[in-house]
A and B are shown apart, each in its own frame.
Chain A
Amino acid sequence: MRSAAASGAASIAAVAPRLGGSPAWRRIGRRPPVVAGAAILALLLLAAALAPLIAPHDPIEQSLGPGLTPPGRAFVLGLDSLGRDVASRIVYGSRISLLVGSIAVSIALTGGLLLGVLSGFYRGLADTLLMRVTDAVFSFPPVLLAMALMAALGANIRNVMIALGIVYTPRYIRLVRVGVLAASEQEYVAAARAAGAGDGRLLLRHVLPNILGPVVVQTSFSFGEAIIAEAALSFLGIGTQPPTPSWGLILSDAREYLAQAAWYPATVGGVLFLVVLAINLVGDGLRDALDPRSA
């Protein structure tokens, strides 16, 4: 097996012509798991966007009925321990998951692109230092590093995004650096440089487009991971704080009543699992289309 970074480099040459409406791309689009994943994600986006219209109740309104009312006609997914509508909380929770996932990954992507280019394109001391730092960060279990950051920053939803963004940045630095290094050695880059192109033009026109594939693939997997991580931190009580309906918080409530209400953790956890599965299925498809050597 090649490391993610090395496979990123290996795939650089193969990536560019495959973007867009190529046969490989269309073939991936017809694969049932990818289509199913994309459909689930579309539903999730719709639920998040239309939450106030779809959700039958206010997600934080209590005592809609007796606590832990099982799923039924009145409440599709039942009521939680405080009599809040679980279905409404899951629908609103999708907003939290999508928000945290996309902001955390955006932070990591931006930081990784800037530092990865600095490292791979300009080399020198910055490169050496950054590689030592990423080596160090990779030695920490990601969850534990995120926990330590949450302990230092304080538990709230903004800090979850920052902490996860920091934890995921080094993997982008590695990926971008390796891609930039490989692309910089290509003859067309040397030709463009000889023709008088400046650093900015070289990077934007010739180097970065070639590392797009592996970065897109990494982004899809990191997005799924960030959604699980937010739920995990909130489940542990050091992420999103109540009464915000984070899926992790809902599960942590459900955990208190396993004997009385087995349906409760099954519903919310099932939704979380399906969403992450959908993201990973789409990610697998993207990898096959954009980064075929690492599949």
Chain B
Amino acid sequence: MGAYIARRLAHAIFVLIGVSIVVFIVLRVIPGDPISLMFPEGLSPERLRQARAELGLDAPLYKQYAIFLAHAVRGNLGNSFRYQRPALDLVLERLPVTGQLAVAALVITMAVGIPLGVLAAARRGGLLDVLTMFMASVGQSMPTFWLGIMLIVIFAVALRWFPTSGRESPVHLVLPAVTLSGFSIALTSRLTRAAIREVLAEDYVRTARAKGVHERAVLVRHVLRNGIIPVVTVLGLQVGALLGGAVITETVFAWPGMGLLAIQAIYTRDYNIVQAVVLLSAFVFLVVNLCVDLFYLVLDPRIRLE
């Protein structure tokens, strides 16, 4: 068990270093010259050289990365050009706002996607199975921003049940959370169905049924306990999709989270904020999936014995 935890932790740290390299390459190396992006109106050659030295851009690339990493592990991701404050602080302030949206979407996903997948697998070939698979295809093909817009048109503009945008009350959360969960519900129900169907074909399920165990008990005690592990994996991986989808959902509903902050930062060329949002999202994704890995210790006793 100790070895398992150590292995997972080491893997997460390695990936995190890789993440920092990717961000460094994307936002520091590809643009060629960040100065020209920061000052699109141009600088005098003298001022340019000075600015490059101030930002460490005259150092070799590996040295620049070492400096970047040394700052990053201390939580220093530079200042926002626009707000003149540490970029990480600004992003961390918005994290709970995005978190609220993502958690609400995850709850909807679990409450709808898992039961649908289980029932579809249990009633293989039945009407519910066909309908679930059809809805899954529809959900996976629906662009998030269009779903959001149409929900606004129907439920906010025409029926006036919900507000079109903002974050003043819990009611404001409903449409954005439903929008964000659309894709995840589709994916989760489809994969839950596949996982449950696989377990239903196992010998121990046949044994349990042969012993005369009630079908519901078979499903809950034998099938769900074993089939839930891949579903938890998928839910962990969904966090990435939810954080990415949040950018679009937040734009549609003017939800003031870090996605909206990131997109506004791109408009104003505030690169340190973009960098902080991207790094923090990958960090959250890695931490959540590390937790999922550790949660397996609870779900699957075999790992504890390793």
Interface residues of A, Cβ cutoff 8 Å to B? 1, 33, 132-133, 135-145, 147-153, 224, 228, 231-232, 235-238, 248, 251, 254-255, 258-259, 262, 265-266, 269, 272-273, 276-277, 279-281, 284
CB proximity of B56 to chain A, nearest CB, Å: 18
Q: Which residues in B have their C-beta under 8 angstroms from that of A281?
A: 137
Chain A nearest CB, measured from B277 CB (Å)? 7
Count of B interface residues, CB-CB < 8 Å = 60
Which of B21, B145, B282 interacts with A235 by CB under 8 Å?
Answer: B145
Instruction: List chain B residues, Cβ under 8 A from A142.
Output: 240-241, 244
Given contacts A137-B22, A140-B240, A145-B278, contact A280 B137 (CB under 8 A): yes
Whether the pair A133, B22 counts as a contact (CB closer than 8 A) is yes
| B157 in contact (CB, < 8 A) | yes
For B1-35 the 0/1 string (1 means CB < 8 A from A) is 00000000001001101110111001100110000
Instruction: Please give the distance in Å from A268's CB to the nearest CB on chain B.
Output: 9
| Nearest A residue to B138, CB-CB | A277
- Output the residue of A33, A142, A143, A248 with the most chain B CB within 10 A: A143
A251: which B residues are within 8 A, CB to CB?
Answer: 145-146, 149
Q: Which of B138, B231, B244 contacts A144 (CB 8 A)?
A: B244
Q: For A151, what are the chain B residues with a Cβ–Cβ distance below 8 Å?
A: 27, 266, 269, 271, 274
Flag whether B243 is at the interface (Cβ < 8 A).
yes
Contact yes or no, B140 A280, CB < 8 A = yes
Within 8 Å CB of B144, what residues of A? 232
**Contact A136/B18 with A1-B230, A144-B278, A145-B278 known, Cβ cut-off 8 Å:** yes
CB distance A135 to B14 under 8 Å? yes
Q: Which A residues lie within 8 Å of B267 (CB)?
A: 237-238
Q: Report yes or no: B143 in contact with A139, Cβ–Cβ below 8 A.
A: no
Q: Which B residues are CB-close (under 8 A) to A273?
A: 141-143, 146
B185 to chain A, nearest CB (A): 16
Q: A144-B243, A144-B244, A238-B266 are in contact. Are A149 and B149 (CB under 8 A)?
A: no
CB distance from A63 to the nearest CB of B (A): 25
Among B81-89, B215-223, B247-255, the stretch in contact with A: B247-255
**Contact of A266 with B153 at beta-carbon distance under 8 Å, contacts A1-B195, A144-B262, A152-B31 already known:** yes
A243 and B241 alpha carbons, distance in the complex (Å) = 30
**Contact A265–B153 (Cβ < 8 Å):** yes
Please name 26 pairs of A and B residues whose Cβ atoms are closer than 8 Å in the assembled complex, sorted by A: A1-B195, A132-B15, A133-B22, A136-B21, A136-B282, A139-B15, A139-B286, A140-B240, A141-B244, A142-B241, A143-B245, A143-B248, A145-B278, A148-B278, A150-B266, A151-B266, A232-B145, A235-B145, A236-B247, A238-B266, A254-B149, A258-B153, A265-B150, A272-B143, A277-B138, A284-B137
Interface status of B234 (Cβ within 8 A of chain A): yes
Given the known interface contacts A1-B230, A147-B262, A262-B157, the answer about A136 and B145 at a Cβ–Cβ threshold of 8 Å is no
B141 touches A255 (CB 8 A): no
Residues of A within 8 A of B14 (CB): 132, 135
The answer on a CB contact under 8 Å between A144 and B277 is: yes
Chain A residues, Cβ within 8 Å of B243: 141, 144
A149, A236, A251, A284 — most chain B CB neighbours (10 Å): A236
Task: Give B31's nearest chain A residue, CB to CB.
Answer: A152
Please determine whether A255 and B149 come into contact, CB atoms closer than 8 angstroms.
yes
Asked if residues A258 and B143 are in contact (CB atoms below 8 Å), the reply is: no
Per-position binary interface string of chain B over residues 147-180, scored 1 when its CB falls under 8 Å from any chain A CB and 0 otherwise: 0011011000110000010000000000000000
B79: interface (CB < 8 Å): no
The 10 A-B residue pairs with the shortest CB-CB distance in the complex, in nearest-first order: A141-B244, A136-B18, A269-B146, A143-B244, A277-B141, A1-B230, A276-B141, A139-B282, A152-B30, A151-B266
Rounded to whole angstroms, the CA-CA distance of A139 and B290 in the bound complex is: 12
Q: Which of B95-150 contact A (CB under 8 A)?
A: 137-138, 140-146, 149-150
Closest Cβ neighbor of A224 among chain B residues: B141
Report whether B143 and A136 are in contact in the complex, using a CB–CB cutoff of 8 Å. Answer: no
A149 to B28, CA, bound (A): 11
Q: Contact check, A232 vs B27: say whether CB atoms are below 8 A apart.
A: no
Check if B194 is an interface residue, CB within 8 A of chain A.
yes
Q: How far is the CA of A251 from the CA of B262 in the complex (A)?
A: 21
Residues on A with C-beta less than 8 A from B11 are 135
Across the interface, A149 reaches (CB within 8 A) one of B26, B140, B146, B244, namely: B26
A43 to chain B, nearest CB (A): 16
Contact A265 B266 (CB under 8 A): no
Nearest CB of chain A from residue B231's CB, rounded to whole Å: 8
Separation in Å of the B12 CB from the closest CB of chain A? 9
**Contacts A135-B15, A148-B27 given: A1-B141 contact, CB under 8 Å?**
no
In this complex, which of B15, B233, B277 has the most chain A Cβ atoms within 10 angstroms of its Cβ?
B15
Give the CA-CA distance A259 to B243 in the complex, in Å: 29
Q: Which residue of B lies closest to A269 (CB)?
A: B146
Which residue, of B144, B146, B240, has the highest number of chain A Cβ atoms within 10 A? B146
CB-nearest residue of chain B relative to A141?
Answer: B244
Asked whether B263 is an interface residue with its Cβ less than 8 Å from the other chain, the reply is: yes
How many angstroms between the C-alpha atoms of A149 and B247 in the bound complex?
A: 15
Residues of B within 8 A of A141 (CB): 240-241, 243-245, 247, 281, 285
Contact A153–B30 (Cβ < 8 Å): yes
A258 and B157 contacting across the interface, CB-CB below 8 Å: yes
Report chain B residues within 8 Å CB of A132: 14-15, 18
